Copies of this chain bind each other. A is one copy, B any other.
Amino acid sequence: MKTPKRAHLSLADSPENGPLTGPVEDYLKAIYALGRGSVSVATNDIAAKLDLAPASVSGMVKRLADQGLLTYERYRGVTLTSVGRRAALRTLRRHRVIEAYLSGALNYPWDRVHDEAERLEHAASDELVDRMAAAIGEPATDPHGAPIPSREGHMDETEYLSLAELGAGYGARVVRVSDDDPEMLRYLGELEIMPGAEVVVVSKAPYDGPINLRVSGTLLSIGPALASQVMVEPLADMDAPSH
């Protein structure tokens, strides 16, 4: 009589205690984003991320702890349990699949998929999300380059360098850009700085000055604040400093 072990447990069967509400999913998603899943997260940071009063967060995390979604120690922050992490990844998967679908199947511009997905992620069934993913060929990332968790709850957590950290003279491929500022996305789009693009850092002005880039043949210059929102993968030397 061995304890039955599930071979594959899908993200879909997380909610033992009924489905989670929209706000709860938002909290878990925010906590996951802030703590990369296992680090302890400050309640004030959650409040800032969700644009709520800190007091509201104190109240909510208590309830989430009671539901077993996270552990909470007063004045010490919050950590997701494995149940909470699964729920967060499930929401993340929905969000990113929806973004990818809107972009890939319905021609949504990449600066508008985020807000739409933000609402749909709480309403779409697992079946719908799976059908969407299948319809666009099970993409590995969303339109901003963020990895889509698998149905089983795995997600590539590779950390990348930001464009701001890349040394002058180095070439890199853009893998991901931050997705929550439509204005910025539109600007990056104009500059053709998007996942897959190759960039070369031509030079960097000191004291947080502008960074000069070459993107698909064009020279342009961006500030370090923007550059830090662009994650890149350095290219094997092909364009490394020449002396």
Residues in chain A within 8 A of chain B (CB atoms): 102, 105-108, 112, 115-116, 119-120, 122-125, 127-128, 131-132, 135
| Chain B nearest CB, measured from A217 CB (Å) | 33
| Chain B nearest CB, measured from A5 CB (Å) | 31
| Chain B nearest CB, measured from A160 CB (Å) | 31
With beta carbons under 8 angstroms apart, the residue of B107, B124, B135 that contacts A131 is: B107
Nearest B residue to A118 via CB reads B123
Asked if A120 and B116 sit within 8 Å, CB to CB, the answer is no
Asked if A106 and B132 sit within 8 Å, CB to CB, the answer is yes
Task: Chain B residues near A106: list those with CB within 8 A.
Answer: 128, 131-132, 135
A123 to B102 alpha-carbon distance, docked (Å): 14
A108 to B131 alpha-carbon distance, docked (Å): 9
With beta carbons under 8 angstroms apart, the residue of B105, B108, B115, B125 that contacts A105 is: B105
Task: Chain B residues near A116: list those with CB within 8 A.
Answer: 124-125, 127-128
- Beyond contacts A112-B127, A116-B128, A119-B123: 4 other A-B pairs, Cβ-Cβ < 8 A, are A105-B105, A106-B135, A116-B125, A120-B124
With beta carbons under 8 angstroms apart, the residue of B120, B125, B127, B132 that contacts A123 is: B120
A102 to B131 alpha-carbon distance, docked (Å): 10
A105 to B104 alpha-carbon distance, docked (Å): 13
A-B residue pairs, 10 tightest by C-beta: A123-B123, A119-B123, A106-B131, A120-B123, A116-B125, A116-B128, A106-B135, A120-B124, A120-B120, A122-B123
Task: Chain B residues near A119: list those with CB within 8 A.
Answer: 123-125
A119 to B19 alpha-carbon distance, docked (Å): 13
A115 to B131 alpha-carbon distance, docked (Å): 16
Nearest B residue to A125 via CB reads B116
A125 to B102 alpha-carbon distance, docked (Å): 12
